[in-house]
C-alpha cells in the first residue's frame, strides 16, 4: 500500500510513496516556482491577451529559473500551460485565440525543479465578469481550501472528497467526476487518485509524507464532460461554466503543508 519514496523507483506505482524531509524541501522549491509563475501572469490576464503569448511567457519564466515545464511534450502535449476558459473544464490548449472581456480562465502550470513537480492552477477574471461567474469561482476556491483542511494523518481520501462535494452541492454546483487530483513528487501523476467527491472515512488512509494535488472542478450545470477532437480540451456537455483551483500539498504530522501558496498573496486573483 505505501512505500518509502527514496527506496522506490522514480516511476508511477500502485503503492503510495511516503517522503522524507529532503523531499519536502524539494517540493517547497517546486511549488513556490509554480505559484510564482502564476503570480507573474496576473497582470497579463487581460482582454486581448493571446493565450499562446501567455504560454510563451510562462515557458520562458520557468526555463529562466532553471526549471522545466512538465507539460511540455508530456504525452504529446506541446505547451507549458493549460488555459481553460468558460465552459472548458480543464486541459485547454494555448492557441492564437485571445481572451475576451467577461471570460473566466483557469491557468494550470506544472514545473519540475531538481526533479520535483510543483502543480497548481487558479482562476482569472478577464476584465469585468458576471456576478454568477464570480460566485462559482469563489465557491471553487473555498471548496479546495475546505478539502485541504481535512488533510491530516488518520483522515482518509474520502474525507477530502466528501467535504468538497458537500460544500459544492449545498451551493447547487456539480463536481466533475472524470478528472481527479493525483499523487506527485518525482513523478508527475502518481498514486493515489484524489477524488473530489466521496464519503467521509472511506478510501485510503492519509499518512505523513504523502504528496498529492487537490484540484476540484465545479460546474454551474451538470457534471458531465466531453473531450474535443484535439484529444485534450475537456468541456462541459451542457456548455455551462466551469471553474477549478489546484494546490500541491504534503501530509505533515499534524495537517497539510501547501507547497504552491502564492508568495504575492494572489491565491484567488479574482477576489
Ligand atoms: N497540470 C495538469 C494537472 O493538474 C495536467 C496537465 S497534463 C497536460 O494534473 F499534458 F495537459 F499538460
Ligand atoms: Co495542474
Ligand atoms: Co494536477
Nearest CA to ligand 1 atom 2: 108
* DSSP conformation class of 183: E
Nearest CA to ligand 1 atom 3: 119
Q: Chunked in runs of 10, what are the mean pLDDT values of the chain (271 residues)?
A: 94 96 98 99 98 98 98 97 99 98 98 98 98 98 98 98 98 98 98 98 98 99 98 98 99 98 97 92
- Provide the whole-model pTM: 0.98
Q: How many angstroms does the Cα of residue 155 sit away from the middle of ligand 1?
A: 27
Q: How many angstroms does the Cα of residue 182 sit away from the middle of ligand 3?
A: 6
pLDDT confidence of residue 186 = 98
Q: How many angstroms does the Cα of residue 188 sit away from the middle of ligand 3?
A: 8
pLDDT confidence of residue 96 = 98
pLDDT confidence of residue 44 = 98
pLDDT confidence of residue 225 = 98
Reference 103, options 55, 48, 148; nearest CA is 48
* DSSP conformation class of 75: G
Closest ligand (CA of 212): 3
Contact at 8 Å (CB) between 37 and 61? yes
pLDDT confidence of residue 187 = 98
Q: What is the DSSP string of 223-268?
A: S-EEE-TTSS-EEETT---EEE-BEEEEE-SSSEEETT--TTS-SS
Q: Which residues line ligand 1 (CB under 6 A)?
A: 71, 74-75, 77, 82, 91, 108, 110, 119, 215, 232, 246
pLDDT confidence of residue 68 = 98
Contact at 8 Å (CB) between 17 and 185? yes
Amino acid at each position: 500500500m505505501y512505500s518509502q519514496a527514496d527506496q522506490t523507483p522514480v516511476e508511477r506505482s500502485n503503492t503510495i510513496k511516503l517522503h522524507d524531509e529532503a523531499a519536502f524541501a524539494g517540493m517547497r522549491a517546486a511549488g513556490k516556482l509554480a505559484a510564482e509563475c502564476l503570480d507573474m501572469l496576473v497582470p497579463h490576464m487581460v482582454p486581448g491577451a493571446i493565450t499562446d503569448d501567455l504560454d510563451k511567457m510562462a515557458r520562458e519564466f520557468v526555463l529562466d529559473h532553471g526549471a522545466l515545464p512538465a507539460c511540455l511534450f508530456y504525452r504529446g502535449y506541446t505547451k507549458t500551460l493549460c488555459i481553460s476558459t468558460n465552459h472548458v473544464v480543464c486541459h485547454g490548449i494555448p492557441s492564437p485565440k485571445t481572451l475576451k472581456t467577461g471570460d473566466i480562465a483557469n491557468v494550470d502550470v506544472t514545473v519540475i525543479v531538481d526533479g520535483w513537480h510543483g502543480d497548481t492552477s487558479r482562476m482569472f477574471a478577464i476584465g469585468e465578469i458576471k456576478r454568477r461567474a464570480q460566485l462559482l469561482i469563489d465557491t471553487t476556491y473555498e471548496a479546495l481550501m475546505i478539502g485541504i483542511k481535512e488533510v491530516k494523518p488518520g483522515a482518509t481520501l474520502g474525507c477530502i472528497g466528501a467535504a468538497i462535494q458537500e460544500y459544492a452541492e449545498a451551493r447547487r454546483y456539480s463536481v466533475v467526476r472524470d478528472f481527479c487530483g493525483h499523487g506527485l513528487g518525482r513523478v508527475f501523476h502518481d498514486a493515489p487518485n484524489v477524488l473530489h467527491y466521496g464519503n467521509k472515512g472511506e478510501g485510503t488512509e492519509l499518512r505523513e509524507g504523502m504528496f498529492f494535488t487537490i484540484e476540484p472542478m465545479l460546474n454551474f450545470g451538470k457534471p458531465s464532460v466531453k473531450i474535443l477532437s484535439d484529444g485534450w480540451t475537456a468541456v462541459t456537455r451542457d456548455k455551462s461554466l466551469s471553474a477549478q483551483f489546484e494546490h500541491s500539498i504534503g501530509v505533515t504530522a499534524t495537517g497539510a503543508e501547501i507547497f504552491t501558496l502564492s508568495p504575492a498573496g494572489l491565491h484567488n486573483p479574482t477576489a
